[in-house]
Structure 1
Amino acid sequence: MTDQPTTGRAGASAEKRASALTPVLTARWDQADAFTRRNYEKADGYKALRRALQRKPEDIVEIVKDSGLRGRGGAGFPTGMKWSFIPAQDPASPKPVYLVVNADESEPGTCKDIPLMLADPHVLVEGVIITSYAIGAKHAFIYVRGEVLHVLRRVINAVAEAYEAGYLGQNILGSGFDLDVVVHAGAGAYICGEETALLDSLEGRRGQPRLKPPFPAVAGLYASPTVINNVETIASVPSIVAGGADWFRSMGSEKSPGYGIFSLSGHVTRPGQYEAPLGITLRELLEMAGGIRAGHELKFWTPGGSSTPMLTAEHLDVPLDFEGMAGVGSLLGTRALQIFDETTCVVRATGRWVDFYKHESCGKCTPCREGFWWMVQIFDRLEKGEGTEADLDKLLDLSDNIAGRSFCALADGGVAPVVSSIEHFRDEYIAHFEHGGCPFDPAASTLFAQEQKVSATR
């Protein structure tokens, strides 16, 4: 989202709020035909590629290392370091090196990679070429969710345009570097956002996470060295090559440098994508978004989608970077900020998230497969007012037995809203079975809501 903010906290000028925006990836989103190669080249597109091809591959890796770019897919692992994990090849029997772009955006509340590919796919394509050159890959794959057909078509068209211009194929721009890019449509499964499950899907098998080690850098796609990065991570590479590591580090915080796209959704006046330096706060983002919808107030929110522990209004001023979120027991994740006001039942919201994780579990690991099924039964009872306080302890016990005991992070992400919601809103859970139903249901008792208003005025 590139619109300049027009409303905000008293005393904060529009100029000050606007200065918090860093339109780099989103700079061209509002331009007509921004998705075409012609318009991308007018905005200096592919100049970073020409500059990169004039340097040694290891120099590009060092630039990205020095920039401090961390993975924008949720984990936040240093990108340059991940690239450097590719082992040196045996000249006698070299294995191919692959780059795989994880464009399987499916985290609830996350909506940054899809609009990026829709509005400006060539920045991703240029990032793919530069990254492939840096790691020595001759083949790259962009794995897109098959449901977003319009995005899939746009990325395929951008790749075709890059071939036509000589940015892909043999002897790219006379450099002697060859690269072929394949755009692959996934069948649509949340689990395929996990990098090793994605690899299985890309190889034509059912998407299920692999046991690690070996890690993809050693034995990834087709048992060959593979780098897997998120769309936004790869799309950030051209600007780093063009602007330099120091320029990138001039934004964000010391340990979480650079910019990122923050997706605001839910009970906010102007939901959308806000590109800003890491370390910005939710209070500042809400100023840009016009605040919570009129007549309401913030109750809880997620900093990085439903798989990150929820936070409350007490955390409005915590920096939205990897360290800031870790400091309050949450995660930055994909920066999918889902905003909920006081009209939302936290039990119902959490129950729906748990049902999502139950549905999306690949079934490979017993704790995940069985644990979320039992959690859904408990949440159904709680919402109907038929549960007991022992059910809350059972939910926490199930969470403890699910988290950290599965092949991938789906299990950990699925229990995050459960544990954090009980931590912050235990009284609301208790109110469900004390008053015989959801206190937010007009047909149920309003006693809890009245009690909350009284306690708030004390």
Structure 2
Amino acid sequence: MDIEEKTLKRLNSPQELEALRQELQRASSAKSKTITICCGTGCLAYGGAKVAQGFKDEIKARGLENEIEVKTTGCHGFCERGPLVVIRPENVLYQRVKPTDIGEIVDTVKDGNIVDRLLYTIPGTKTKVAHEHDVPFYKKQMRLVFGANGYIDPTSIEDYIGCGGYTALAKTLYSMTPDEVISEVKKSGLRGRGGGGFATGAKWQSTQEAHGDTKYVICNCDEGDPGAFMDRSLMEGNPHAILEGMVIAAFAVGAHEGYIYIRNEYPVAVKHAERAIAQAEAMGLLGRNILGSGFDFTVKINRGGGAFVCGESTALMASLEGRVGEPRAKYIHTSERGLWDQPTVLNNVETLANVPLIINKGSQWYSGIGTANSKGTKIFSLVGKVNNTGLIEVPMGITLREIIYDIGGGIPKNKKFKAIQTGGPSGGCLPESRLDMPVDFDELTRAGSMMGSGAMIVMDEDNCMVDIARYFLSFLEGESCGKCVPCREGLKRMRQILDRIISGRGEDGDIELLEDLSETLTWGALCGLGSGAANPIMSTLRYFRDEYESHIREKRCPAGVCKPLITYNIVEANCPNCTLCIKACPAGAITGRGKKVPVVLDQSKCTKCGACFDVCRLNAVEVR
């Protein structure tokens, strides 16, 4: 791997690390401007790589390399507006930048003007916002963990060191004992960000105290929730923060070997993690005799095969050992007998990225953020039917209303909000009545959902909650490892019942049967996937029971989504005979009856695709 090792000097003490940091900061300050281009996966899909290369070529062609730095970074969060370009230090944000815009932008960097047409416009208004921190999407965020993504090149260890990277590691190795590290993490109140919300410090202490010849630290980057991409973006944009957190965890528990278990579907994250490991080893920040302290810790990467169940701790470890990824019963904790039956710490990406912050700024600072039992910030992927989609980092305790309307910018086309699904496929769907609820581990659980890894999917009035429940249940059915009967058979049976309800064959007693099966699954499944799999059913029954009843008793889908339960009709009184619906219908089900005579819809030919409804703007097509 080309990591430019000839330029990387091994560091043998905290003093050498600090001297390098100061040198890097002086070199950076010599350039008056920096153009940062987001090259996270989202922006790359929009053409971010061409934009980045275009800026580099333009700056070189103008001979401005000594004045303006061009930097490719990880994800900035505002994914739907990519490619994103930010001019620093003024933090002018340009969105949806194309290669043809580059010359104009460089002109303004030199003369201090702004390209007005590339600024973000607040939806529904003509108001343009020039600076990144003033954009509503960013304004209420607290980007403690994720913020560095917009400033550093993830392929450069020097960038990470220059902004304070590895100072927490130096402090840990030279100024703290393992017990002091664990105590600090416990006092911070940090809870695992991977789904369960278990106290991180307590997990570390349990591993430290466990007996074993070898101990391990594993970073879980096997993010499989639909709509979730927080861990991927952190690993892509700031891999050294995760490595630093892993080394600190290893020192605390007495481990000398570690693994990053990462989805093979995350090629950029894999590439950046591999490069970061090689760079850190070359500079003495990983591997043998780290920073001259005598402490050893090595990290290897294992690529996951894409099984959702391997996000569960014991299934992940089975997969890492080369066995089938199946969970085991929880009466034996992995902190005592985990990987290869040895004491193991397993934390997800975001959890580990919090650790250097806690060590550097202190547990008192960290515990001052958030709620009584949920400290710090949380990164969420905000997707679905919301104007501003992307990754957000907010303090624990913020309300759902603030997330959806203040940060997310509300629902597109002024549609009515209906529900938000939190916690991934095993999470729950929360209605409008819960919008002012503070978001933390305990409140979400009480409401019938969960924090999970942090996916948030917004739904509007056009979503059918029975169909949504079936979607998540079908996903979980397909991802079940099949080891235990409640999950293997229970999910299949519940999906079959939902299929019947949606097809118009629902019966009295189906709702009660779904509730009974949900309870069996919750209490009888072997692992967290199975025990949480009933949440989509239970939460939609709790808050949207009337929709189930409409499907079963009235054979009607109120949202007009379930095709067997809907019909399209022409409202002759409203029809101007414009023939737009005739042209849109792919099945030839709509025909005219002469000039100035309303059209008719043949139900025997109608495929219920909804094309006629979509093109009509005069309420001449209705859904029943």
| TM-score (norm: length of structure 1) | 0.91
Secondary structure of the corresponding residue to residue 533 of structure 2: helix
2:285 is aligned with 1:164: no
In 2, are the aligned partners of 1:384 and 1:437 still within 8 Å (CA)? Answer: no
What is aligned with 1:352? 471
**1:18-37 equivalence runs, <5 A:** 20-31=140-151, 33-37=153-157
In 2, are the aligned partners of 1:209 and 1:408 still within 8 Å (CA)? Answer: yes
Q: CA–CA distance in 2 between the matches of 1:389 and 1:6?
A: 51
In 2, are the aligned partners of 1:191 and 1:362 still within 8 Å (CA)? Answer: yes
Return closer, same or farther for 1:264/1:18 CA change in 2, 3 Å cut-off: closer
2:191 is aligned with 1:73: no
What is aligned with 1:260? 378
2:166 is aligned with 1:46: yes
Which deviates the most, 407-416 or 20-29?
20-29
Q: CA–CA distance in 1 between the matches of 2:293 and 2:386?
A: 49
CA shift digits 1:28-80 (9 cap, x unpaired)? 22236244212111111111111111121111111101111011111111100
What is aligned with 2:516? 397
Q: CA–CA distance in 1 between the matches of 2:393 and 2:524?
A: 35
Q: Structure 1 residue aligned with 2:226, among 108, 111, 131?
A: 108
Letter paired with 1:31: Y
Secondary structure of the corresponding residue to residue 302 of structure 1: strand
What is aligned with 1:56? 177
Q: CA–CA distance in 2 between the matches of 1:375 and 1:301?
A: 22
Which protein has the larger Cα radius of gyration, Structure 1 or Structure 2?
2
What is aligned with 1:137? 255
Q: CA–CA distance in 1 between the matches of 2:377 and 2:562?
A: 43
CA deviation after TM superposition for structure 1 residue 267, in Å: 0.3
CA deviation after TM superposition for structure 1 residue 434, in Å: 4.1
Secondary structure of the corresponding residue to residue 445 of structure 2: helix
- CA-atom RMSD, angstroms? 2.4
Q: Structure 2 residue aligned with 1:120, among 238, 241, 244?
A: 238
CA deviation after TM superposition for structure 1 residue 174, in Å: 0.5
CA deviation after TM superposition for structure 1 residue 324, in Å: 2.0
What is aligned with 1:200? 318
Secondary structure of the corresponding residue to residue 223 of structure 2: coil
In 2, are the aligned partners of 1:89 and 1:95 still within 8 Å (CA)? Answer: no
CA shift digits 1:349-380 (9 cap, x unpaired)? 11111111111110100111011111121111
CA shift digits 1:153-211 (9 cap, x unpaired)? 21111111111111111110000000110111011111111100111001000011112
Return closer, same or farther for 1:49/1:349 CA change in 2, 3 Å cut-off: same
2:410 is aligned with 1:291: yes
Return closer, same or farther for 1:32/1:58 CA change in 2, 3 Å cut-off: closer
CA deviation after TM superposition for structure 1 residue 23, in Å: 1.2
Return closer, same or farther for 1:396/1:361 CA change in 2, 3 Å cut-off: same
In 1, are the aligned partners of 2:503 and 2:562 still within 8 Å (CA)? Answer: no
Return closer, same or farther for 1:207/1:89 CA change in 2, 3 Å cut-off: closer
In 2, are the aligned partners of 1:280 and 1:319 still within 8 Å (CA)? Answer: yes
CA deviation after TM superposition for structure 1 residue 110, in Å: 2.0
What is aligned with 1:225? 343
What is aligned with 2:271? 153
Return closer, same or farther for 1:99/1:213 CA change in 2, 3 Å cut-off: same
Q: CA–CA distance in 2 between the matches of 1:218 and 1:7?
A: 52
What is aligned with 1:453? none
Secondary structure of the corresponding residue to residue 252 of structure 1: coil
What is aligned with 2:550? 431
Which deviates the most, 22-31 or 134-143?
22-31
CA deviation after TM superposition for structure 1 residue 273, in Å: 0.9
Letter paired with 2:546: D
CA deviation after TM superposition for structure 1 residue 309, in Å: 2.1
Secondary structure of the corresponding residue to residue 142 of structure 1: strand
In 1, are the aligned partners of 2:217 and 2:346 still within 8 Å (CA)? Answer: yes
Letter paired with 1:266: G
Secondary structure of the corresponding residue to residue 388 of structure 2: coil
In 1, are the aligned partners of 2:208 and 2:254 still within 8 Å (CA)? Answer: no
In 1, are the aligned partners of 2:169 and 2:244 still within 8 Å (CA)? Answer: yes
In 2, are the aligned partners of 1:48 and 1:242 still within 8 Å (CA)? Answer: yes
In 1, are the aligned partners of 2:232 and 2:269 still within 8 Å (CA)? Answer: yes
Q: CA–CA distance in 1 between the matches of 2:221 and 2:169?
A: 21
Larger RCO of the pair (alpha carbons < 8 Å, separation 6+): 1
Q: CA–CA distance in 2 between the matches of 1:422 and 1:266?
A: 21
Which deviates the most, 328-337 or 71-80?
328-337
Return closer, same or farther for 1:342/1:153 CA change in 2, 3 Å cut-off: same
Question: What percent of counterpart residues are identical?
Answer: 39
Which deviates the most, 381-390 or 224-233?
381-390
Return closer, same or farther for 1:88/1:288 CA change in 2, 3 Å cut-off: closer
Which deviates the most, 76-85 or 28-37?
28-37
| TM-score (norm: length of structure 2) | 0.67
Gaps of 5+ in 2: 1-75, 79-92, 94-119, 125-132, 570-624
Letter paired with 1:292: I
CA shift digits 1:190-234 (9 cap, x unpaired)? 111110011100100001111222211111111111111111101
Letter paired with 1:85: S
Aligned length: 442
Secondary structure of the corresponding residue to residue 147 of structure 2: coil
What is aligned with 2:535? 416
Secondary structure of the corresponding residue to residue 314 of structure 2: helix
CA deviation after TM superposition for structure 1 residue 135, in Å: 1.0
CA deviation after TM superposition for structure 1 residue 306, in Å: 2.5
Return closer, same or farther for 1:88/1:372 CA change in 2, 3 Å cut-off: closer
CA shift digits 1:228-261 (9 cap, x unpaired)? 1111101110111111111111211121111110
Secondary structure of the corresponding residue to residue 107 of structure 1: coil
**1:207-222 equivalence runs, <5 A:** 207-222=325-340
